[in-house]
Amino acid sequence: MNEINVAQNEPIFTISAAAQLLKISVHTLRMYEREGLFIPYKKKSNQRLFSKADIERIQCIRNAINESKISINGIKAIYSLIPCWDIVKCSEEERKNCGAFNGEHNPCWTYDHKNVCKERDCRSCEVYSKYSECCMIKELIKSISR
Ligand code: SF4
Ligand code: SF4
């Protein structure tokens, strides 16, 4: 990918530009979003915009699918292992009633929350923005397999 000289988290690329940078179709990008693999920045008009960090994240997902042969469900299952409860420090009661704590198939940000996470912005939450980055996922898997 060509060097993109913009702040890492600034959402500036339209969905068409993001698709072009990633060499995939807009349809595929939309499908990844529907599957909950990433959360785009949304303007009030609902237009999606992507930052350089978003594009790097999606490139990581593409590599996992194309090179490591991990399915979309596999990627979601890996994301679902991120211990959000430990990072956010939600209460025992909240996690007991939370699909993200009890399930093992979907990332926490794909649930319709009625708990502490209802008030939080997933895109800027470190569970999404930091712990689901490629390098952090690898560390997580290594720590689980130790
Ligand atoms: S999604 Fe939120 S409430 Fe649920 S377990 Fe994770 S941090 Fe706790
Ligand atoms: S705010 Fe969103 S990304 Fe962060 S822990 Fe809650 S559901 Fe997950």
Phi-psi region of 55 (alpha: psi -120 to 50; beta: other; left: phi over 0): alpha
Which range of residues forms the domain containing residue 141? Answer: 71-146
- Residue 146 belongs to some domain of the structure: yes
The whole-chain average pLDDT of the chain stands at 89
Residue 82 near ligand 2, beta carbon < 6 Å: no
Q: Determine which residue's CA is closest to atom 3 belonging to ligand 2.
A: 122
The reply to whether 76 and 131 lie within a common domain is: yes
**Predicted TM-score (pTM) of this structure:** 0.88
User: What 3-state DSSP class applies to 13?
Assistant: strand
Give the distance (Å) from ligand 2 centre to CA of residue 82: 10
d(CA 75, CA 71): 6
The token duo for 110 is 């794909």
- Residue 12 belongs to some domain of the structure: yes
Give the distance (Å) from ligand 1 centre to CA of residue 130: 16
In sequence order, what E strands does 36-145 have? 41-42, 48-50
Structurally, how many domains does the chain consist of?
2
Give the distance (Å) from ligand 2 centre to CA of residue 87: 9
The arithmetic mean of pLDDT across residues 110-137, rounded, is 88
What percentage of the chain carries pLDDT values higher than 70?
A: 89
Summarised one tens digit per residue, pLDDT across range 15-74 is 999 999 999 999 999 999 999 999 999 999 999 999 999 999 999 999 888 888 889 999
Q: Determine which residue's CA is closest to atom 8 belonging to ligand 1.
A: 85
Residue 123 near ligand 2, beta carbon < 6 Å: no
The reply to whether 60 and 75 lie within a common domain is: no
Whether the predicted pLDDT of 113 surpasses 70: yes
The reply to whether 49 and 110 lie within a common domain is: no
Give the distance (Å) from ligand 1 centre to CA of residue 128: 12
The token duo for 99 is 């699909």
The reply to whether 82 and 131 lie within a common domain is: yes
Ligand having the closest approach to the CA of 110: 2
Of the residues 117, 119, 125, which should be mutated to test ligand 1's pocket, given the most ligand atoms within 8 Å of the CB? 117
Give the distance (Å) from ligand 2 centre to CA of residue 15: 24
